[in-house]
Amino acid sequence: MKKAVVGIVFLFLGVTLIGCNKKTEAKVVWAKEVQTLLELNNVQLIDVRTPKEFKEGHIENAQNIDFLSSTFTEDIKTLDKEKPIVVYCRSGKRSANSTKKLQEAGFTEIYDLEGGILKWKQEGFKTQ
């Protein structure tokens, strides 16, 4: 009986510790899925390209936070961690790297546009 109780306690502690260490994973989404997400009022759309790239064309209502900037980690702290966030770049590499920084900063609902703005345009979606 005593062994069973000890076993249950260790099982409970193990499950609890595993659950506490669970990392939030960013979900990679296609352009059409992003369009659907953007129809929600509370989504934050972040373009992680350089300001020059952003000025050349971006998705409507996107906020530019340059992943290559030395202030990126500080800049993302101005965002609302309680709201979903969609990130994109040119082709997907910088946005994938930025999702890791967002996870480290405590964001829990992160979406990464597959193929970046290049794929967005290829799928026929507009930019500003």
Q: What is the pLDDT of residue 91?
A: 97
- The segments of the chain whose pLDDT lies below 70 read 1-23
Question: Quick one: pLDDT at residue 85?
Answer: 97
Residue 28 · residue 37 · CB < 8 Å: no
* Catalytic hit among 89, 102, 110, 117: 89
CATH of region 23-122, choose from 3.90.79.10, 3.30.70.3270, 1.20.1630.10, 3.40.250.10? 3.40.250.10
Sign of CA dihedral 98, 84, 19, 76: positive
Give residue 41's pLDDT.
72
Which residues, other chains included, contact 121 with Cβ-Cβ below 8 Å and sequence gap of 6+? 127
Determine the pLDDT at residue 79.
97
pLDDT per residue over 84-99, tens digit each?
999 999 999 999 999 9
Residue type, 53: E
Sign of CA dihedral 89, 84, 120, 93: positive
- Return all residues near 62 (Cβ < 8 A) that are at least 6 apart: 45, 46, 47, 54, 88
Query: Model pTM?
Result: 0.81
**Residue 87, SS3?**
strand
Instruction: State which amino acid sits at residue 91.
Output: S
What are the counts of helices (DSSP H) followed by strands (DSSP E) for the chain? 6, 5
The residue behind tokens 């373009």 is: 47
20 part of the active site: no
